[in-house]
Amino acid sequence: MNKMIIRGGHRLSGDVTIGGAKNSTVALIPAAILADTPVQFDMVPNILDVHNLMLILESMNVKSDFADGILNVDPTNIVENALPSKAIKSLRASYYFMGALLGKFGRAKVTFPGGDNIGPRPIDQHIKAFKAMGAKVINDGDKVIINTEKGGLHGASIFLDVVSVGATINTILAAVKANGETIIRNAAKEPEIIDIVTFLNNMGAKIRGAGTDVIRIEGVSKLEAKNTHIIIPDRIEAGTYLAMASAYGNGVNVHNVIPEHLESFISKLLEMGIDLKIHEDSIYVPESHHFNGIEIKTMPYPGFATDLQQPITPLLLKANGDSTIIDTIYPKRTKHISELNKMGANIRYNDGNGSIIVSHTDKLTGSNISAGEIRAGASEMIAGLMAEGTTVISNADNILRGYDNIIDKLTDLNADVEIINDEK
């Protein structure tokens, strides 16, 4: 396991460029197996999830190569094979192989996915959609076995009981080559869903309504890539750098951002009194020292993203008075609290109403802490940069799963940070 070592106390300045969105990429790679031609992606983030997805592709004889942000995937010689459980368990988005394999072969056998440990993460809505399209689903130990009758999947009308990014994308992947029309109601509206649909439509899919809560998919028989798909910028990575630069920057320019994807987040930074300069595809964060406390409630897109409530927390420590966070998506997403408190923070979790109360903290001190999941890790990393002394974050793979070239980017911003491998 990797550890991240941060020698804090160096204020951040300069430029950082955001990579392609993790949550698009981890769906686009499974989606690529639906293609009848090789496909190419650009702006692919250099994160552990991508390397693990490449291992899963390899097990199906799908060749891929990745360098300088370009990922080539050739699914033309795909074979049905057992998928490697360790890689499947290393990330959440491996559940997209259920929809993609169903779309490709009319059957799938996939181990339950892993991903961030942020409280219960059921996949009942994914299964409900597959069943509505005619699939038979059996749980066998930690495997989900999905089959269809001869004739494969058929279109269906599906109302999702909860707004789910994963269930929306998985249903699209299963439906894109199914017979007839599938309608998803109460669909999630995240920009990453539009990105996946853009990729599929450019290959000949017929999907309308992505970005609204009703998505219509007319099944097609062929998908052929004719151009490189450029992945949208990662709005969560961007939000993480905006929070970091606001809390501990001397002037930082964040490039390759779509500000419209971050409206709910940006509005909170403005409410705190940070004088952001927002341009077409970059945001300048000036040095700031006085911040107002705020209240945050996480919601499905376009609301405040659950994935940003932990990264903004170190900034809230610098605000006057108390700030409160209610995470309505993952109310138990609190693994950062004990770790930041070890560093001297004053954060409390109210079990009664599920709110997190973040009180003003004058000083953080470097400590030995653990990244329980990706965004807890991001929060701890920012606190480590702000702290006096050295912070050692164990389980740093949880940070590396989702933050593109993180050491190079932080070093370019004047941070003193490195990754070391325990096992050496």
Ligand X SMILES: C=C(OP(=O)(O)O)C(=O)O
Ligand Y SMILES: CC(=O)N[C@H]1[C@@H](OP(=O)(O)OP(=O)(O)OC[C@H]2O[C@@H](n3ccc(=O)[nH]c3=O)[C@H](O)[C@@H]2O)O[C@H](CO)[C@@H](O)[C@@H]1O
Instruction: List active site positions.
Output: 116
Burial class (CB in 10 A: 0-12, 13-18, 19+), 87: buried
**Nearest distance from C-beta of residue 190 to ligand X, angstroms:** 12
Question: Which DSSP letter does residue 231 get?
Answer: P
33-41, 86-94, 355-363, 381-389 -> range binding ligand X (CB under 6 A) = 86-94
Q: What is the dihedral of CA 319, 400, 114, 215, to 10 degrees?
A: 70
Binding ligand X (rule: CB under 6 A), the pick from 8, 19, 45, 115 is: 115
Residue 374 binds ligand X (CB under 6 A) = yes
DSSP letters, 181-209, are EEEEES----HHHHHHHHHHHHTT-EEE-
Residue 402 binds ligand X (CB under 6 A) = yes
43: Cα separation from own chain's centroid: 15
Residue 380 binds ligand X (CB under 6 A) = no
Residue 177 binds ligand X (CB under 6 A) = no
Residue 375 binds ligand X (CB under 6 A) = yes
Question: Which DSSP letter does residue 232 get?
Answer: P
List residues binding ligand Y (CB under 6 A): 23, 26, 92-93, 120-126, 162, 164-167, 188, 306-307, 329-330
Residue 416 marked ligand-binding:
no
**Nearest distance from C-beta of residue 279 to ligand X, angstroms:** 26
| Element spanning 392, H or E | strand 390-394
Q: How far is CA 102 from CA 52, 110, 147, 344, 413, in A?
A: 21, 11, 8, 50, 44
Residue 408 marked ligand-binding:
no
29-37, 68-76, 110-118, 361-369 -> range binding ligand X (CB under 6 A) = 110-118
Binding ligand X (rule: CB under 6 A), the pick from 30, 33, 116, 291 is: 116
**Nearest distance from C-beta of residue 27 to ligand Y, angstroms:** 7
Q: Which is nearer to ligand Y, 120 or 151 (CB)?
A: 120
Category of 68 on φ-ψ map: left (φ > 0), alpha (ψ -120 to 50) or beta: left
Q: What whole-number distance in Å separates Cα of residue 80 and Cα of residue 70?
A: 26
The answer to whether the CB of 337 falls within 8 A of the CB of 344 is no
Number of residues that bind ligand X (CB under 6 A): 10
Residue 231 binds ligand X (CB under 6 A) = no
Residue 142 marked ligand-binding:
no
| Element spanning 383, H or E | helix 374-386
167 binds, among ligand Y, ligand X, none (CB under 5 to 8 A by kind): ligand Y
Strand partners, 277: 284
| Element spanning 419, H or E | strand 416-421
Q: Which is nearer to ligand Y, 57 or 252 (CB)?
A: 57
The answer to whether the CB of 313 falls within 8 A of the CB of 359 is no
Q: Which is nearer to ligand Y, 74 or 234 (CB)?
A: 234
Category of 186 on φ-ψ map: left (φ > 0), alpha (ψ -120 to 50) or beta: left
Q: Which is nearer to ligand Y, 22 or 318 (CB)?
A: 22
Binding residues for UDP-N-acetyl-alpha-D-glucosamine: 92, 121-125, 307, 329
Binding residues: 22-23, 92, 121-125, 307, 329
Binding residues for phosphoenolpyruvate: 22-23
Residues forming contacts to ligand X in the complex (CB under 6 A) are: 91-93, 115-116, 118, 307, 374-375, 402
